Structure 1
């Protein structure tokens, strides 16, 4: 014969069962209220406001314009490329090569020193004198008397053996040295100095590296902002808030 539950047992089961149901309801209610409070607070959070700012910017497609602009730039259509090519062209010029040949030597200073000393002019005058028909005609007399005219001949022979003068007269016909003096102090040299300083600068090297790079957009602030936006957009918190804020989940609490 089946045992029938006593009235007391039925009563206690119902009593404690209702208590458990109440606890579940209260717990769910508290969780809902906590989530709702979190929703309200998050609406004013720095993260959400930053997301909205970035979303507005991303929706404007400004980054697309930036990407197109930076990708359209190349080294070959830049002022840097033009400057580099001008410098290369100048360095290939034969006259300028001759200038550089003597630029860091003492030869130009030596040449100017002898020129300014007057020795070359003196030698030329003496040579002309001792070679003249009049002097040759009376040379023996001048020599015998050791005249001032003969002293000029002695001085001429002295200068003839002067190594500095020999070197000077040889340099007079040196095309490289002529090119040096033509370029020294000229606009060409000024231009060279400007180009050299520019092309060899750290700023130029950095700019050239950027212009030759294949990831120009990734180096822009626009890319950084877009990356930040996508990171926030994919975050669990943003997804939760975006999905929950317009739902009817909290209607009972409003």
Structure 2
């Protein structure tokens, strides 16, 4: 909308019919723009635009199109499971266990019968037994009774089977793997690859139509269809007509496009910074003929407007000699700054601004730090006629006095037209530009401290009726640092 307004109210008036036709068309377009702005259609488009252009979404789409089952951790798990399943020791372990032999031998080994057998076996192989055996009364001795019991148990089928099985290689493998990390890995992998979740995942990953069936594909299709909607196409054509194309060599550090319904108080404060910081109240400087009021600041049509008007008001005035005092005012205006939220040393600072009236209304986009000097005017209006602005710096050069280094800029009718006012600040130079054209350069008295942004409309003297009401509109403001 900014570009449309600028073309209508530039330095040349069209004939009445053409002017009225354009005004009516502009009003119709403005109404249509607002209707689309608040529509569910645009809201859905923005939601989809944000979603499908996010890094996370792009990664999901890339995975759906290019990632295959063999690229996943699950595939590695399946491969390892198959490898373990084919290994001889695992197969032997599983076969021995599934045959029931493992359970059987464990039961026999734990039985009283087998424990008695082991006890007797130990005895009949002891020196004590052989000593008893050589005795003439051996057959009458307790050792003989134990020997007979041992032979009977040794011939017991379950004991014989256990002894034989215990010596087998299958049992030795079973015992070695039992409760080992290797067999536990096998069982864990088996549980994973045989789960329904794994099978479903594998089937989906191996489906060549996976992306087309996905929610992501459906969202992209919906977005592309919305993107072609006539209202959406028209909306972006109007909205982006004068869009600023960000330079790749700059990194965005601060931005406000004033698209919300009210001033973002996380970014901006109203009035002079020290009034908010010390008193949480507004004040004006001695010699200013207006009082600042929040009601004179509003957001409309994606731009911020500071309005100057005739209105009785009462507020504080600061004088370095007297301090603060109460005063009656006939005029009100507004001011916003980033004094409490954003300060930056060096970089690019720019805003797209329009103002309706100039002298005696002082419209300004300026920067300052902890003290009132140095004070950088990215632009200000102090000349009548609306065909000249001023840019430059007011500085206190090492405490030797106030020095002004400014440049008067003409060559356009600045009033009633949007311009992009830019300020590039580095350690060695400062450069002021309007719409990308350099208007002033300075390589001395370079500020070396972080500064904050301020937009204000003040009255250094009483205006005539023809000058009010007056407005300054800020379409957007952006700050960058060099990458």
TM-score normalised over the length of structure 2: 0.36
> What SS is found at the alignment partner of 2:38?
coil
Give deviations 1:213-237, integer Å, cap 9, x for gaps.
2123234443222111233345xxx
- Contact 2:120–2:146 (8 Å) recurs in 1: no
1:206, distance to aligned residue in structure 2 (A)? 2.4
CA distance in 1, matches of 2:195, 2:107: 33
Residue 104 of structure 2 aligns with which residue? 107
1:179 equivalenced with 2:178 (yes/no): no
Query: In structure 2, how many angstroms separate the alpha carbons of the residues matched to 1:40 and 1:186?
Result: 71
Contact 1:102 1:108 (8 Å CA) reproduced: no
How far does residue 63 in structure 1 lie from its aligned partner after superposition?
7.1
Deviation (angstroms), 1:111:
4.4
Alignment of 1:53-92 (within 5 A): 54=48, 67-92=61-86
Give the RMSD, CA atoms, in angstroms.
4.1
SS at match of 2:110: helix
Answer yes or no: is 1:142 the counterpart of 2:138. yes
Q: TM-score, normalised by structure 1?
A: 0.63
Point out which structure has higher relative CO (alpha carbons under 8 A, 6+ apart): 1
Partner residue of 2:194? 200
What do the CA deviations read for 1:127-157 (whole angstroms, capped 9, x no partner)? 788x96984x667x534xx233432332233
Residue number in structure 2 paired with 1:239: 230
Matches within 5 A, 1:1-254: 41-42=35-36, 44-51=38-45, 54=48, 67-104=61-98, 105=100, 106-114=103-111, 117-123=115-121, 125-126=123-124, 135=133, 142-143=138-139, 146-233=140-227, 238-239=229-230, 242=233
Hey, what's the Cα distance between the residues in 2 that align with 1:112 and 1:58?
66
**Larger Rg belongs to:** 1
More helix by percentage: 1
Structure richer in strand, relative to its length: 2
Structure 2 unaligned residues grouped into runs of 5+: 1-27, 239-483
C-alpha distance after superposition, 1:186-220 (max 9, x if no partner): 11122122212221223222221222121232344
Unaligned runs of at least 5 residues, structure 1: 1-33, 248-254
